[in-house]
Amino acid sequence: MIDGALPTIPGFTMQSVLGKGGQGRVYEALYKDMPVAIKLYDTDTEIGVKRVLLEVDAIRSLGSDCFPGIFCYGIDTVEGRECIWVAFEFIEGCTLKDLLSTRCLSDDAARSMMIAVSNAVSDLWSIRKRHRDIKPGNIMQKPDGTFILIDLGYAKHLDAEKLTETGWCLGTPGYIAPEEFSRRANATVKADVFSLGITSYECIYGVHPFQRKQRRVIDGRCLPVEPVKGISEELRRTIAEMLSHDPLDRPMPHEITGRLGGGR
Ligand SMILES: Nc1ncnc2c1ncn2[C@@H]1O[C@H](COP(=O)(O)OP(=O)(O)OP(=O)(O)O)[C@@H](O)[C@H]1O
Ligand SMILES: [Mg+2]
């Protein structure tokens, strides 16, 4: 596709590019006069396609309001290439990454973000799925101040062969839990809790606790979690525990929400 040109998918009026990342391209579009965010994934393998569609269906059936609703999805040939597309509820607002480029979050805002993402992770884990790429760029703040987790890892199946070849694992370097990096098969929801711990640390301190280096994550060389003016001891301690090297020492998502006053 020519950069800047918008693809054509029957039923959608494409409006603008929202993002282009490692796993897909995201566009703002109109679907039956409703604004949607439509994400396109290039496909390579048949098995990958089936798995992605099953996963999208499983997550849609969850009906969780902790991530954008899925209107519809399908497969089409777009600019000569077969693509899976998924049309999501359009979220007004900006990413946490954009927000953090100007300021840190208050105690209240950080709690609200941690509760929203913990609930999302908990809903996913109820069907034994993990997000696998929690980071500020994959969390959005709505105009009413609430937060929502985006960019669920549907495309991981498309990368399965590439991953096996390289021995690499999914996620963003600097945010991948140590156990996931070394033994992907055994990682649990606690790996998502770890990535959320890093994201929460960045919200409070304005810096990355492992200086964005996966090597430091593996070696457990975390910057200290020190008192900060205006940030409660409880929040500080919860973030410190989420960053524990051993997953067993990290809280479960429902424990995080319980401590931070957001139990459901
Ligand atoms: N449902 C949505 N509503 C509004 N904007 C969205 C929505 N989903 C994604 N976006 C915007 O598109 C950008 C990219 O989306 P997303 O994170 O899903 O893909 P990506 O980062 O390009 O992919 P990857 O992280 O796999 O490389 C987001 O940062 C956000 O600005
Ligand atoms: Mg993303």
Establish whether residue 68 lines the binding site of ligand 1, counting it when its CB lies within 6 angstroms of any ligand atom.
yes
Establish whether residue 19 lines the binding site of ligand 1, counting it when its CB lies within 6 angstroms of any ligand atom.
yes
The reported pLDDT for the residue numbered 23 is 67
CA of 46 to the centre of ligand 1 (A): 25
Establish whether residue 20 lines the binding site of ligand 1, counting it when its CB lies within 6 angstroms of any ligand atom.
yes
User: Please, is 217 exposed, middle or buried when counting C-beta atoms within 10 Å of its C-beta (0-12, 13-18, 19+)?
Assistant: buried
Q: Which two tokens stand for residue 149?
A: 């987790």
CA distance 240 to 233: 10
Q: Does domain 12-89 have CATH number 3.30.200.20?
A: yes
Predicted model pTM: 0.92
CA distance 222 to 175: 12
Q: Which ligand is nearest to the CA of 71?
A: 1
The reported pLDDT for the residue numbered 150 is 95
* Encoded amino acid at 223, one letter: L
CA distance 124 to 118: 10
Architecture of the domain whose range is 94-259: Orthogonal Bundle (1.10)
Q: Which of 18, 56, 152 to mutate to test the pocket of ligand 1 (most atoms within 8 A of CB)?
A: 18
The reported pLDDT for the residue numbered 234 is 95
Establish whether residue 18 lines the binding site of ligand 1, counting it when its CB lies within 6 angstroms of any ligand atom.
yes
Paired strand residues for 77: 82
Q: Which ligand is nearest to the CA of 94?
A: 1
The reported pLDDT for the residue numbered 22 is 66
Domain boundaries, the chain: 12-89, 94-259
- Taking the chain (264 residues) in runs of 10, the rounded mean pLDDT of each run is 74 94 85 95 74 87 93 89 92 97 97 98 93 95 97 67 52 91 78 98 97 95 93 96 96 97 82
Establish whether residue 39 lines the binding site of ligand 1, counting it when its CB lies within 6 angstroms of any ligand atom.
yes
The reported pLDDT for the residue numbered 109 is 98
